[in-house]
Amino acid sequence: MVSDRDTRFISYFWKTLWKKMGTKLLFSTAYHPQTDGQTEVVNQILGDLLRCLVNDHTSSWDLVLLTAEFACNSSVNRSTSMSPFMIVTGYEPRKSIDLIKLHVSYRTSEFASFFAQHMHNLHEEIRQKLALNYTKYKSIANSHRRVVEFSIGDYVMVNANSVRFSLGKSKKLTAKKIGPYQIIRKISSNAYELDLPDHMGINLVFNVSDLVLFHKPLSNYIYPSESTPPTSTSSSSTSNLSLIPSHEPKKPVIASKFVVSLPSEPTMPPVQHILEEILSDQITFTTDGLLHKFLIRWRGLSPTDDSWITYDELTHLHPSLLKEYCNNL
């Protein structure tokens, strides 16, 4: 039985009941139609059947539900070669024509028997060809799938699917992956449960196709988006590197007869302020590569003055605090 992960379906009572009945439960993964694809196909067939029966009288669809139900349950399935009614009850349902009594002088027609046998042979040949094609399609589809195994405790990046994540921003400007998030439970080889923040309000189970293993950035890696800190030959200035942009406003730029005053760039607190605590960190994806940033609380300043600095800047300003923060992760 295929169902979603509603609390009524994953409860202890529901699992115990169907285990006693000998039914295997299969819980689907959100936004992964391959799990319950057969159910989706049946829903499409039922929709097409109702459209044909209702025609232009769309408000009377409930009057033809019994007819549609009987037609679907008495139709022979291609995979099982039996109708759903035959599988459940053990015999085929009686149709209206079966209730008509044959005439006393009834005799079989050889041509009708030959034609019926011909149709059975034709259908069997079509089934074999379809089975060969399904095997071919399956091998082609599996050749493009990647086999990935994660362990509990691994950190992964999640594909920011616009269907699941309503970011409210331009799709072209948002990150392709978000995270990292820790794996807390393995549902199966294709589904894992992640430790997501409570404010997201989404299903915690993801398919393996939406997960990518997170690799921590190297400590000695120089990000292309960052410039190398300036060095000084003077021994007195070596211990006081200037990593923070100057607070001096830019000089006006004179173009023809107009004077345009450019605003000063956002700056972080001056170097003389001492780092008090590392509040958080995040890794962002830029066009130049990875950028590891840390949220810093400065001693003597209010929380509104908390600012982000890069990994290299924090390494030069307070390497011991950085090492202590990494050990506590």
Average pLDDT, the chain: 75
Let me know if residue 120 belongs to a domain: no
Let me know if residue 292 belongs to a domain: yes
Structural domains in the chain (count)? 1
The listed range with the strongest mean pLDDT (13-22, 23-32, 265-274, 283-292) is: 13-22
Q: Is the separation of the CB atoms in 308 and 320 below 8 Å?
A: no
Residue 38 predicted with pLDDT over 60: yes
Let me know if residue 301 belongs to a domain: yes
Let me know if residue 282 belongs to a domain: yes
Mean pLDDT, residues 285-297: 81
DSSP 29-84: PTT-TTTTHHHHHHHHHHHHHHHHHHTT-GGGGGGGHHHHHHHHHHSPPTTTSS-H
Choose between 81 and 180: higher pLDDT. 180
Residue 68 C-beta-side C-alpha neighbours within 13 Å: 17
Residue 232 predicted with pLDDT over 60: no
CATH number at residue 284: 2.40.50.40
- Residues sharing a CB contact under 8 Å with residue 186, sequence separation 6 or more, in sequence order: 150, 151, 152, 192, 193
Mean pLDDT, residues 126-143: 84
Residue 169, pLDDT score: 56
- Residues sharing a CB contact under 8 Å with residue 244, sequence separation 6 or more, in sequence order: 267, 268, 269, 270, 271
Mean pLDDT, residues 198-203: 80
Residue 236 predicted with pLDDT over 60: no
Enclosing domain of residue 313: 253-327
pLDDT in tens, 92-118: 888 777 766 656 555 667 788 888 888
Q: Is the separation of the CB atoms in 83 and 75 below 8 Å?
A: yes
Let me know if residue 266 belongs to a domain: yes
* Integer Cα distance of 29 and 189 in angstroms: 12
Q: Where are the alpha helices (DSSP H) in 188-301?
A: 235-238
Let me know if residue 300 belongs to a domain: yes
Choose between 251 and 219: higher pLDDT. 219
Choose between 46 and 259: higher pLDDT. 46
How far does the chain reach from its first CA to its final CA, in angstroms? Answer: 41
Span of 13-22, 213-222, 233-242 with lowest mean pLDDT: 233-242
Let me know if residue 123 belongs to a domain: no
Percent of the chain with pLDDT over 90: 4
Nearest to 291 by CA among 303, 283, 301, 302: 283
Residue 182, pLDDT score: 92
Choose between 265 and 276: higher pLDDT. 276
Q: Is the separation of the CB atoms in 279 and 297 below 8 Å?
A: yes
Cα distances (angstroms) measured from residue 25 to each of 33, 138, 201: 17, 24, 25
The region that residue 101 occupies, defined by phi over 0 for left and psi between -120 and 50 for alpha, beta otherwise, is beta
Burial code of 223-258, b = ≥16 C-beta within 10 A, e = fewer? Answer: beeeeeeeeeeeeeeeeeeebbeeeeeeeeeeeeee
Nearest to 276 by CA among 296, 252, 251: 296
pTM for this prediction: 0.34
Residue 101, pLDDT score: 66
Q: Is the separation of the CB atoms in 178 and 282 below 8 Å?
A: no
Let me know if residue 311 belongs to a domain: yes
